[in-house]
Amino acid sequence: MLDLSHGTVAGLYRYPVKGLSAEALPGTTLSPGQTVPCDRRYAIENGSIGFDPERPRHFPKLHFLMLMRHERLATLQTRFDDETDELSIVYNSREAARGNLETAQGRAAIEDFFAENFTRELRGPPKILSGPNHSFSDAPNKVVSIVNLASVAAVEEVLGAPLDPMRLRANVYVQGWPAWCERGAAGCEFMIGETRLRIERDIVRCAAVNVDLVTAERNLDVPATMQRTLGHQHCGVYAEVIAGGDITPGDPVRIVSGS
């Protein structure tokens, strides 16, 4: 049995627009087979991919603006309002754009901002994409991303430098688990409060984690250092929700089945 006892939720986050900033959650409700609500609900198309909003399907992240290649996105602070569907963008310490992502006019306001300020990153006109009940996650199936803070600390040791856990862009951060106990635990089921999840697979880290979220500089070489010193680039897991419920920071995280 895996030792996933004595864990607690240290933080909950969503990313309404793929590649843009995180939003801390005081709590959320998970549903079976779904992501954290509103997580990666939108993406910014970087060159036409023929996305059909009526029949949305998964596309690799290379087709969108994203931190792995476009580190200047870290200079933006964004906020999405669920009640109004408005996205606001703060750039250079001022609000630079605001728009309702469910209207053509609102999307155009956000698209114009990126067309004017991210010219060198764009391969074509930027376009806000969304589809009914669709998530632009890196994973093709609907999952929740979970990071063990002790594993992040273990990565810091081999880096010889601090590593902001937020660089890993997880939905759930867990404290109290032993480092690396989550690795290779596919099929393991655990509870967050009364919500039940099953680990699907490890998350392989890409160059996005090298980007400083304050300065937008690539000032670490995390995946290569992990591969050289640890023999892998895994940090975090994807999990499927199999029994829904409410979760909040401070909730216990406990194993219920595994090997």
Tokens 């690795």 belong to which residue? 183
pTM of the model: 0.96
pLDDT at residue 2 in the model: 55
Nearest to 236 by CA among 139, 141, 135: 139
pLDDT computed for residue 6 by the predictor: 79
Q: Which residues of 221-250 are buried (b: 16+ CB within 10 A; e: fewer)?
A: ebbebbeeeeeebbbbbbbbbeebbebeee
pLDDT of 87 reads 98
Mean pLDDT by 10 residues, the chain (259 residues): 74 98 98 98 97 96 97 98 98 97 98 98 97 96 98 98 98 96 95 96 98 97 98 98 98 84
Task: Write down the pLDDT at residue 1.
Answer: 44
* Strand runs labelled E in 124-182: 126-129, 144-148, 172-175
Residue type, 172: V
Q: Give the C-alpha distances (Å, rounded to integers) separating 58 from 61, 130, 214.
A: 9, 11, 30
CA 108 vs CA 64, 84, 126, 234: distances in Å: 17, 16, 9, 38
